[in-house]
Chains A and B, each alone.
Chain A
Amino acid sequence: MSKISAATLALPGNRAPARRSLAQRVKAAWPLYLMLLPSLALMIVFRVLPLWGVSIAFVDYYPLKGLAGSPFVGFKHFEVLFNSREGFEIIRNTLVIAVGKLIAGDIAGIAFALLVFQLANPLFKRIAQVTTAIPHFMSWVIIGGIFIDLLSSRGLVNAPLQAVGLPAIPFLRDQTLFPITLILTDVWKEFGFGSVIYLAALTTILPELYEAAAVDGAGRLSRLIHITIPGIMPTIILMLCLGLGRVLDAGFEQVLTLLNPLVYATGDIIDTYVYRVGLLQGNFSIGTAVGLFKSVVSFILILLSYWLADRYAGYRIF
């Protein structure tokens, strides 16, 4: 559509619109600019103005004195982030939890899609897809609240263990188990919805390929390896590329609902640190510095992931 109208404008007999100068076109478009006013105002207030506040990261901020009255300290707060044990821990925890979720989540989504794809009964297939996607649409307060009860010593998992004389598993209170619990509960919440994109990819594989392979005597396993997996490979690569942009996103809302002081050493992530130490405890400069570090690195990684997705999966985001 757009190409046709552009081409028509370029035709010699149809010169009038093309001759309009930029100033004329801008003038004619004023109602369109008027429509952009709400979004422009919201952009400036909520996304651009806060960028000014980023300078708090480079001073020792005293709320009572304001930004101008606070002494400039350069990169001091960033040095603390990179040289302290706490700083190392929150960056490590963020990466471990985020990457663990990306890998486990993708594998679970692919595996579930492959299983559902094998089902012949359409009703059963539909029910399985719809029920497993429900938790995705619930907030982490609801899911976290349910799991805090479920994984406690008197909960659904531990009560039967204790009934047969085994010790309760401290899912949310043990430093080693906590990150694993985060990953597993996230996989539980997201695998059903995560499989949707892979199922969509599976349905685009031509049935003729399977029929031809079956005629040639290929079994279930060899069809899986030679037809199904290559068929969804572009989607897998795409999801991996896009995942790169999220390696500093360990899931703020989930971690905040499940985190407790017993597991700060392995469960505290960048976002929860900024919230607790920065905002709640009033260390505004440190919190801003840590947040800024995450914003900048994430921004670069997201751009890189979009470029990779375009380059290797042929997927243009913008």
Chain B
Amino acid sequence: MVEERSPGARIANSLIYIVVGLLAIMAILPFWNVLSISLSSRAAVEANVVSLWPVGLHFENYQHVLNRPQFTRSLLISVARVVFGVGLQLLVCMLTAYPLARETIDMPGRTLYKMFLIFGMLFSGGLIPYFLLLRDIRLLNTFAVLVVPASLSIFHSILILNFFRGIPRELAEAAEIDGATHFDVLFRVYLPLSTPALMTVGLFAAVQHWNAWFDGLVFIRDAANRPLQSLLYSIVMQGGADAEAVWGTIGQVSNLTPRGLSGAMLLFAALPILIIYPYIQRYFTTGLTLGAIKQ
């Protein structure tokens, strides 16, 4: 940037710093507000005097949430869906990307298959035919419904495919001359070379799996078997009986409040994202740069 030293330019510069600073604070403020409410005493929350600082600091809401069996159960389901969902998706991604990364001469029909995949990515039959299909193949109300359909991510497969195409062809050829099969080349040559790309895609897939809630809500009828985010939906958006079933009866003697309990649970659900956030922010532009597909 060009340096400017006039007083007017300095004022303009300071103003920009202030505006950007305020916007950054604004992005955090809602989380901060919920945190404060969840840490405040019942009296303070009910009198509605909490805004940006806890009043009557206590941790009972968090202790209570952690002690509820349904919370722990849903948390485990969420963790399981992330672990199995990401693993399965990466495997399918690699198996899909490798053949399509080869030249048409080695892999007749690759363009046609890619078109087929892209069609599948862009067109869907809609929610109801999909629901009826899951019913017919008896996938409703199973854990598999959370991980199996999501194991084919066409977008992520294409990202891996583009990365594979950047790997020098000679490496695969050298291995093939030594008698390596395609599976050897994929798992012993391409896989070790692709760890950065696989890490990126794995991270995105993990965030998607952790954040997904609509599938758990609609395709799993028994609330006890839903992942954390779907449980949150029924507590925070539907409230009433759903919330009471999870929290139990909140007495008038404790510091527990519905607002505080909801807040505590929302922040528990946000925590894993915040923990891996330093890794996520390294890859902000990956989707943008890999998005352009090199033929």
Contact = CB atoms under 8 A, between A and B. Distances in A.
Determine if chain A interacts with chain B. yes
Interface of A: 1-2, 5-6, 9, 17, 22, 25-26, 28-29, 31-33, 35-36, 38-39, 42-43, 45-54, 56, 112, 115-116, 118-121, 124, 127-128, 130-135, 137-139, 141-150, 154, 156, 159-160, 188, 191-193, 196-197, 200, 207, 210-211, 214, 220, 223, 252-253, 256-257, 271, 274-275, 278-279, 284, 287-288, 290-292, 294-295, 299, 302-303, 315-318
A interface majority secondary structure: helix
Most buried by B among A47, A127, A128: A47
A317 B270 CA distance: 33
Contact of B105 (A6, A223, A295): A6
B211 A47 contact: no
A284 B233 contact: no
Q: For the complex of A and B, list the 3 residue pairs with the smallest distance between their C-beta atoms, beginning with the closest.
A: A291-B126, A53-B129, A139-B211
Contact of B152 (A46, A196, A318): A46
Contacts of B273: 137-138
21 contacts: A6-B103, A33-B99, A36-B95, A39-B152, A118-B1, A118-B16, A128-B23, A130-B277, A131-B27, A132-B27, A133-B284, A139-B229, A141-B269, A142-B269, A146-B266, A159-B48, A210-B2, A287-B128, A295-B124, A299-B123, A317-B291
A142 B232 contact: yes
B284 A193 contact: yes
B199 interface: no
Most buried by B among A146, A196, A197, A220: A146
B99 A150 contact: no
Contacts of A48: 120
B41 interface: no
A131 B211 contact: no
B114 to A, nearest CB: 8
Given A46-B130, A52-B129, A124-B21, 5 more contacts: A35-B186, A53-B125, A118-B1, A128-B23, A149-B263
Interface stretch (B28-36, B64-72, B79-87, B247-255): B28-36
Contacts of A124: 17, 20-21
Contacts of B20: 112, 115-116, 119, 124, 128
Contacts of B274: 134
B207 interface: yes
A11 to B, nearest CB: 14
Contacts of A315: 292
Most buried by A among B2, B118, B129, B218: B129
A160 to B, nearest CB: 8
B125 A50 contact: yes
Contact of B95 (A28, A39, A132, A197): A39
